[in-house]
Amino acid sequence: MLTRIAAAQYPIDWLENLDAWKAKTSQWVERAVAEGAQLLLFPEYGSMELASLFGEAVSRDIFASFDAMQGLLPEVIEHWRGLAVANGVHIVAPSFPERNDAGVMHNVARIFTPKGLCGEQPKVMMTRFEGEHWNMLGGGVVRVFETTLGRIGISICYDVEFPPIARAQAEAGAWLILAPSATEGVMGASRVAIGAAARALENQCYVVTAPTSGSAPWSAAVDSNRGAARVVCPPDHGFAETGLMAVGEVDAAQWVFADLDAGLVKSAREDGDVLIFRDRLKAGGAAPAAEVFDLTGRA
């Protein structure tokens, strides 16, 4: 059975009120559903456009933005839950900077099901900017979500650049890893793209990225957004030979669609042209110790 995924290249807009945000996000969902999408992936930090509701002084201050947005979180969650239920789809909503009971900020992605259930995946690894400038903390449990579409993992942006995170998800049965992202330049977008391709190769699974898009000079968090959504796979029997199934137009505001086959992941892991997933497990995941061989002649 095929699963049609829609990956958003989502623009950061100035919004006059919460109703405007609800209308925008509803329209985005409706467009994807009209194209047959069953699983919708929005980007990391796409929720930061909500800071515009509190005026320019707040939106230009990252800490004021975080503080102001906390009160919106319950309504934001219920809005995305309602969209998933009303449209009969799974939605990974834009990640939200959330303060926990101890006052610590985390970057949290949520997946909503057609039955209204919700799962949370905090970002595990913080970039230098998040940690050193925004005082956000990573960590938390790496999860795999059991859904009617199969087991799905979420590796937020920088997380997809670290093999152990995706490996843990793949070993727990994930056939698909979703990587919502927000990158301000070509270097960051390239790192996410390379990381996604590497994780797809290593784990013989699909990996899908979805970035923020466009310019929002009024935002302290997502003022510049570069990148394109990608659907990557292992270059193996039945998959795209190049490992690239679909890619969007760089910096455009659009959906990128692809039809994914969980059965292909199973067959590749069991009897692929190569058996990277199995062989990595056989090796215990540990690289052999390297021997230093002296060619300086100084010994």
Q: What is the pLDDT of residues 265-278, one digit of tens each?
A: 999 999 999 999 88
Q: What is the pLDDT of residues 30-69, one digit of tens each?
A: 999 999 999 999 999 999 999 999 999 999 999 999 999 9
Of 188, 132, 123, 130, the C-alpha closest to 159 is 123
The residue length of the chain stands at 299
Closest CA to 147 of 125, 167, 121: 121
* 23: amino acid identity, one letter: A
| Dihedral of alpha carbons 96, 246, 199, 189, sign | negative
| Three-class SS state of 40 | strand
> Closest Cα partner for 121 from 102, 138, 137, 142?
142
Kind and range of the H or E run holding 37: none
Structural tokens at position 278: 């199995």
Whether the Cβ atoms of residue 94 and residue 45 lie closer than 8 Å to each other: yes
Name the residue ranges covered by the structural domains of the chain. 2-282
- CA atoms 122, 182, 246, 278: torsion sign: negative
Residues 232/30, Cβ–Cβ less than 8 Å: no
Which backbone phi and psi does 230 adopt, to 5 degrees? Answer: -140, 145
* CATH class of this structure's domain 2-282: alpha beta
Nearest by Cα to 226 from 42, 62, 7, 11? 11
Instruction: Collect the ranges in the chain with pLDDT lower than 70.
Output: 281-290, 293-296, 299
Three-point CA angle 73, 75, 78, nearest 5°: 110
Residue 217, exposed/middle/buried by CB under 10 A (0-12, 13-18, 19+)?
exposed
Alpha carbons 26 and 5: distance in angstroms, whole number: 17
Q: How many helices (H) and strands (E) does the chain have?
A: 9, 13
Q: Label the pairing between strands 105-112 and 2-11.
A: unpaired
DSSP H or E segment with residue 173 = none
CA distance 6 to 217: 27
Pairing of strands 206-215, 176-181: parallel
- How far is the CA of 230 from the CAs of 7, 28, 122, 175, in angstroms? 8, 18, 22, 16
